[in-house]
A = this chain, B = another copy of it.
Amino acid sequence: MSSDLQTENLPIGVVGLGLMGTSIIVSLLAAGHPVIAIAPLPADEAGFESRLMAQLEACREAGILTREPNDYRAMISISEDYTALRNCTLVQECVIEKVAVKAQVYQQITAVVGAETVISSNTSAIPITELQQLVACPERFLGIHWAEPAFATRFLEITCGEKTNPRHAQVIYNMAHLWGKEPTLIKKDIRGFITNRLMYAVYREALFLVGQGLTTLADADKAFRYDAGSWMTLMGLFKRMDYEGLEDHLQTLNSLFPQLSNAAEVPEPMQEMVERHARGTQSRQGLYSYTAESASAWERSFAEFNKAIFHLARRYPGAPAVNPLP
């Protein structure tokens, strides 16, 4: 069974042509899908072409493509008109995290596609169950959450809302393997998905420690970069625990749990920082300061690093353990 054969006849719609949307499109193209790209904002369309070609070129260099970038470019139709989506069996939404905007997008999608077309959101902030209420025939709605850049990461989270038909989730789960992913399937809708939820537990604790003057942002960064980072891509979380020995871990878990931050609110300095329009690398002032040069060097660094770590993870694929519990 050729995966190419399967995907070639399966056009997928993507609504939202920002950074994330572009890299999702590239990932789908590389897997062989024709893509119907909808630009809800004319502004999206502006930068899209150059982003797309740069990402396709990056894919080619990484050895992910089997044809030339231009051949893939020919597999996209771009439109501002939602009726172009009418033959898609899957439409992926990746517009900004605003419920009102998404509601409007869903309305326009459902107006043109059949009731069996699966509609998915890339949201990382809004529960699927909540978004599902905005969609006619909600049983065909689910979350497909991609990691950035979509074409060069293996991770993909598929999340059901309360009303999602699990059959649809299973179809997408199977299809995700054709996209070169290691998907996870979350049968119940949880607030924040797995990675985000785990990472925000880290951020809560880190912001607490920084707020107490016990450490600095820079030292927390060093800790994750050089310590956790040195095993995570191989071991994940619980295989690490097994490797280090459960007994020691249990002792530490018992002594640390009562000491961890239980804060329900984001610390003041972080709130202030954002209010002062410190937006991050893009505006050159975030938690760190950047110059125009350092910000673009950082961008290039990440693009290169990302390729390297993708290949590294590919060289160390299956962990040899069997029968994970539970």
Report A192-228 CB contacts with B as 1/0, cut-off 8 Å.
1011111111111110011001111111111111111
Report A278-319 CB contacts with B as 1/0, cut-off 8 Å.
111110001111110111011001101110111011011001
Contact in complex: A224, B236 (CB < 8 Å): yes
Q: Is A234 an interface residue (CB 8 A)?
A: yes
Please give the distance in Å from A75's CB to the nearest CB on chain B.
26
Residue of B nearest to A301 (CB): B316
Give residues 10-25 of A contacting B (CB, 8 Å): none
Instruction: From B97, B238, B273, give the contact of A248 (CB < 8 A).
Output: B97
Q: How far is the CA of A260 from the CA of B194 in the complex (A)?
A: 12
Q: How far is the CA of A315 from the CA of B302 in the complex (A)?
A: 12
Q: Is A174 an interface residue (CB 8 A)?
A: no
Please give the distance in Å from A147's CB to the nearest CB on chain B.
5
**Also in contact, A227 and B125, with CB within 8 A (given A255-B191, A287-B246, A288-B321):** no
Contact in complex: B324, A253 (CB < 8 Å): no
Report A36-59 CB contacts with B as 1/0, cut-off 8 Å.
000000000000000000000000
Q: Is A70 an interface residue (CB 8 A)?
A: no
Q: How far is the CA of A141 from the CA of B198 in the complex (A)?
A: 35
Contact in complex: A279, B247 (CB < 8 Å): yes
Which of A1-9, A105-113, A114-122, A180-188 makes up part of the contact surface? A180-188
Q: How far is the CA of A262 from the CA of B261 in the complex (A)?
A: 8
Instruction: From B224, B231, B250, B291, give the contact of A237 (CB < 8 A).
Output: B224
Chain B residues whose C-beta falls within 8 Å of the C-beta of A194 in the assembled complex:
209, 215, 219-220, 223
Which of A78-86, A162-170, A263-271 makes up part of the contact surface? A263-271
Chain B residues whose C-beta falls within 8 Å of the C-beta of A201 in the assembled complex:
201-202, 204-205, 260-261
Q: Is A322 an interface residue (CB 8 A)?
A: yes
**Also in contact, A232 and B224, with CB within 8 A (given A288-B323, A312-B308, A323-B289):** yes
Contact in complex: A223, B184 (CB < 8 Å): yes
- Give me 11 A-to-B residue pairs in the complex whose CB atoms sit less than 8 angstroms apart, sorted by A's number: A157-B223, A192-B256, A201-B202, A230-B309, A233-B309, A241-B280, A242-B286, A245-B279, A246-B279, A290-B321, A290-B322
A: which residues have CB within 8 A of B? 97, 124-125, 147-148, 153-155, 157, 182, 184-186, 188, 190-192, 194-206, 209-210, 213-239, 241-266, 269-271, 273-274, 278-282, 286-291, 293-295, 297-298, 301-302, 304-306, 308-310, 312-313, 315-316, 319-326
| 8 more CB-based (< 8 A) A-B contacts, given A154-B226, A200-B256, A220-B238 | A153-B227, A197-B260, A204-B257, A206-B237, A239-B298, A243-B280, A245-B280, A247-B280
